Amino acid sequence: MKSTHLALTATTAIAVAFAAPGAASAEDLTLCWASWDPANALVELSKDFEKQSGHSMNFEFVPWTNFTDRMLNELNSGGQLCDLMIGDSQWIGGAAENGHYIKLNDFFDANGIKMDDFIDATVTGYSEWPKNTPNYWALPAFGDVVGWTYRKDWFERPELQAEFKEKYDRDLAPPATFAELKDIAAFFQDREIDGTTVYGASIYTERGSEGITMGAMDVLYSFGFQYQNPDKPYDMEGYVNSPGAIAGLEYYKELYDCCTPPGSSNGYMSEGIDAFKSGQVAMQMNFAFTWPGFENDANVGGGKTGYFVNPAGPDGDQFAQLGGQGISVVAYSEKQDAALEYIKWFAQPEVQAQWWKMGGYSCLKAVTLAPDFPSSQPYAQTFLDSMAVVKDFWAEPSYAILLQDTQKRFHDYVVAGNGTAEEALNGLVRDWTETFEDDGKL
């Protein structure tokens, strides 16, 4: 999902102009996205498009905290700032139904762009509306998923290995289950390492945008949570609030209570990054986009960081929260032909391969399934394994209301300690039912 990340960099508006000599129909395109490291990489990547096409590229980048409000206001007003939009996966339903994006099926067919060439989950998550139908409104642009980093150098210390083995009768290693994860988090909680008190895990608890929803759902999926009856859309009773879902939310609160650093009541992306880089925590929940930064960090790079897929639940189910975005052509743009040229260029295998090398997470199977991909980065195999088990939040046009309700219910229970997990999920069923009734879907 990842529609409202905390800011990682300041608001950026970058213009890079290049016009090929003699270009008869050169356009000045603007691509809108969030302000973060991958966007900076895209600026560099796009210089090749400028040289080839004669078009010039401008970039409007907005911090994640403001990105959704800023860009949805732009779309809802029919604004012409953006010719291309790398928008959140959750916007697809509303963007399609409200006419904000142009449908890309005919363009894909005419240019030999096949959705089967992209990771299946990213096509469903970023491109399709209605879901699971061949109606495409975006090209998968940036694959992302919630996974975990851990202090590999701490896990490998002989004295800690011996102590953990004696206590839990198993090796200190990346957890395969959530039960194992909590044991490891408890083992490190309030432990002194190199003269500093450290803590078990950094998890998502942020209230204002989407943080705690992304974190809790990342656990609930593997405990049996489902958004609806697979055979009856919008039938949520017994699925959203199933016994497994209740147990999953209880687990998330237990992990928060037992094993997080002090002051963790409103943390999301940047707080997790800071906690891990500063040596506060043994493990960290965060989206995969953060991983390249750890490899290059002075404190946790150089082999000190390891990566693992979101663990399995008590019955062996294993899922992870999808992040990432697709790239779309804005319906209000007067430069749609040039914008489509950009998408055609971006979809090329050689461009996608370069995108991965520069820190972008390509969704093209020709890149991710290449024999040398798993060894291309220390986190590459974890990314592949994680993308194979993803689920995502609602992509309904009313997703923002659905998300606000989830944020409140989860934060009130997990962080504030109000009521029970069952009451929180029962309340969520009522909230969501009311929204879908208002939408005429129930």
pLDDT, averaged across the chain: 94
pLDDT at 17 over 60: no
Distances (CA, A) of 67 to 12, 97, 365: 12, 21, 29
CA 408, CA 413: separation in Å to the nearest integer? 9
CA 385, CA 387: separation in Å to the nearest integer? 6
Spell out the residues 6+ positions from residue 102 whose beta carbon is closer than 8 angstroms to its own: 137, 328, 329, 330, 331, 336
CA 62, CA 222: separation in Å to the nearest integer? 33
∠ CA(287), CA(316), CA(167), 5° rounding? 85
CA 271, CA 274: separation in Å to the nearest integer? 5
Of 168, 179, 148, give the one whose Cα is nearest residue 315.
179
- Report the SS3 class of residue 307: strand
pLDDT at 16 over 90: no
What value does the mean pLDDT take over residues 81-100?
Answer: 96
What does the pLDDT read at residue 11? 31
What percent of the chain clears pLDDT 70, i.e. is strictly above it?
95
Q: What is the DSSP string of 363-390?
A: -BHHHHTSTTSTTTSTTHHHHHHHHTTE
DSSP state of 216: H
What does the pLDDT read at residue 20? 36
What does the pLDDT read at residue 6? 33
DSSP state of 125: I
**Residue 431 backbone phi and psi in degrees, to 5:** -60, -50
What percent of the chain clears pLDDT 90, i.e. is strictly above it?
93
What does the pLDDT read at residue 379? 98
- Residues pairing with 284 in the sheet: 149, 202
Q: pTM of the predicted model, to two decimals?
A: 0.92
Spell out the residues 6+ positions from residue 365 whose beta carbon is closer than 8 angstroms to its own: 117, 118, 119
Residue 432, amino acid: W
Confidence of residue 65 (pLDDT cuts 50, 70, 90): confident
Mind listing the pLDDT tens digit for each residue in 174-196? Answer: 999 999 999 999 999 999 999 99
Comparison of pLDDT for 6 and 291, the residue scoring more: 291
List alpha helices for 278-332, DSSP H. 291-295
CA 5, CA 414: separation in Å to the nearest integer? 20
Confidence of residue 343 (pLDDT cuts 50, 70, 90): very high
**Domains observed in the chain:** 28-144+324-391 (3.40.190.10), 146-321 (3.40.190.10)
Mind listing the pLDDT tens digit for each residue in 385-420? Answer: 999 999 999 999 999 999 999 999 999 999 999 999
